[in-house]
Amino acid sequence: MIRVAVQPAAIDIAAELDLHDAGGHGASASFIGRVRGDGDLTELFLDHHPAMTAAGLADLAHAAADRWQLSALTLIHRVGAMVPGETIVFVLTSSPHRAEALAACEFLIDRLKTDVMLWKRETFVDGRVRWVEPREGDGTRADRWNA
């Protein structure tokens, strides 16, 4: 069961775990990415493409499901304005085998950073606004999965 969502609403981890976990799968791996409050950041805004962002997440989810033996996969990305501590992204993968769940989870979060139409904009307490630049390491981590 694949569940993918792009939403302006807060991500409810407990609710997502409940939705996901109906089958009592052997192993689940998850990743939660949150807004960090470093350097007096007051707001993180996530820009997206109404159709392509959701399609990009769905493509990634199906790529993971093709590559690993997964019994369930949840991939939720928030968009719009959020504040430090709020959840930006939640990935949850389940499999009879722990190695498959762990690898799929890591694949999804790595490729999310390079393959999906999402852009972060930071606002700071002094009023500065800055679009986040991709980090070198993001491409390197994402490319590991091309082998």
Partner 1 sequence: MTLQIAYFAWVRERMGVADETVDLPAGVTNVSSLVAWLAARDARGQVAFAEPQRIRAAIDGVMMGLDAPLAGAREVALFPPVTGG
- Which residues of the chain form contacts with partner 1 (CB under 8 A)? 33, 46-49, 51-52, 55, 77, 88-89, 98, 109, 112-121, 131-134, 138
State the minimum distance, in angstroms, from the CB of residue 37 to partner 1.
18
| Closer of 51 and 132 to a second copy (Cβ) | 132
Beta bridge partners, 47, equal: 119
State the minimum distance, in angstroms, from the CB of residue 138 to partner 1.
8
Find which of a second copy, partner 1, none residue 96 binds, CB within 5 to 8 Å per kind: a second copy
| Closer of 50 and 133 to a second copy (Cβ) | 133
Evaluate whether 123 touches 132 at the Cβ level (below 8 Å). no
Evaluate whether 116 touches 48 at the Cβ level (below 8 Å). no
Find which of a second copy, partner 1, none residue 30 binds, CB within 5 to 8 Å per kind: a second copy
Nearest to 15 by CA among 115, 90, 78, 119: 90
Alpha-helix residue ranges (DSSP H) falling in the chain? 13-20, 52-67, 98-115, 136-143
